[in-house]
Amino acid sequence: MERLGRSAPEPLSAAQAGLLHLHYTELRRWNPRVSLVGPAEAENVVERHYGESLVGVTLLSRRGGVLVDLGAGAGFPGLVLAVARPELKVTLVEARSRKWSFLMSVCRAAALSCNCLNARVDTAPVEGLPEEIDWITARAVRLEDLGLSVLLPRLVEGGSILLWCGEADPELPESLEIKHQTHLMGSRVRRILQIGRSEAAEKENE
């Protein structure tokens, strides 16, 4: 719990820390069967996974909104952000059935109201995907695999894609541009990119 507190950019309540500990306990229980995190990352899971996910809260408002996490996997960052920002309506999208089952199990145990979709977003709309999205999050997912043709029309004016990535900038379509970057503690290359519509694209939507 102390390590988690040191890794969080904002204070967590006792209830929030308890929910994340529940997630951690379930992660350790499921990991031998589902391989949610690799062996090399297990020792640093608090700092590398929880800490780096929690940095995303600094890029989210407290007014609520809709967040869709793609390739949600073990729950980083989407489930962690749902705990840290309970006012958000969070949809976790995971294509692999066993990882989706893990997310469903944790959300039930933690009484989180996340919508968990066992689906892949590529070129076709997915049933249950919100019609309007404020934030799209993705960690360890390439931008070209996000299904932008489906998602971008649903991104509200001023909405953002938050992409956890390494040193190389993704290749963006002309309609998107990097608005801001946040470097992650303890790494010279890992960062969160805040990506939004370019000025030209915003004017076209007016």
1 has a pLDDT exceeding 80: no
State the pairing for strand pair 133-139/88-93.
Answer: unpaired
Q: Which of 3-7, 81-85, 170-174 has the highest mean pLDDT?
A: 81-85
CB 7 within 8 A of CB 46: yes
pLDDT at 199: 82
State the pairing for strand pair 88-93/155-165.
Answer: unpaired
pLDDT at 200: 73
- Over the stretch 30-69, which tens digit does the pLDDT of each residue have? 999 999 987 656 567 888 899 999 999 999 987 889 999 9
Sign (positive or negative) of CA dihedral 174, 66, 27, 192: positive
> Could you tell me which residues are beta bridge partners of residue 185?
none
- Over the stretch 163-181, which tens digit does the pLDDT of each residue have? 999 999 999 999 999 999 9
90 has a pLDDT exceeding 90: yes
CA separation for the pair 177, 180 (Å, rounded)? 9
CA separation for the pair 99, 39 (Å, rounded)? 17
Q: Which two tokens stand for residue 31?
A: 């990991």
Considering all CA atoms of the chain, what is the largest pairwise distance in Å, rounded to the nearest integer? 51
Q: Which two tokens stand for residue 83?
A: 């705990």
CA separation for the pair 90, 81 (Å, rounded)? 9
pLDDT at 157: 93
pTM of the model: 0.93
Q: pLDDT band at residue 77, thresholds of 50, 70 and 90? A: very high
CA separation for the pair 37, 24 (Å, rounded)? 11
- Over the stretch 95-118, which tens digit does the pLDDT of each residue have? 999 999 999 999 999 999 999 999
Class in CATH terms, 2-205: alpha beta
- Over the stretch 6-35, which tens digit does the pLDDT of each residue have? 777 888 999 999 999 999 999 999 999 999
pLDDT at 191: 95
Domain locations along the chain: 2-205
- Over the stretch 105-153, which tens digit does the pLDDT of each residue have? 999 999 999 999 999 998 787 899 999 999 999 998 888 888 888 999 9
pLDDT at 161: 97
> Could you tell me which residues are beta bridge partners of residue 150?
none
H runs (alpha helix) in 110-178: 148-151
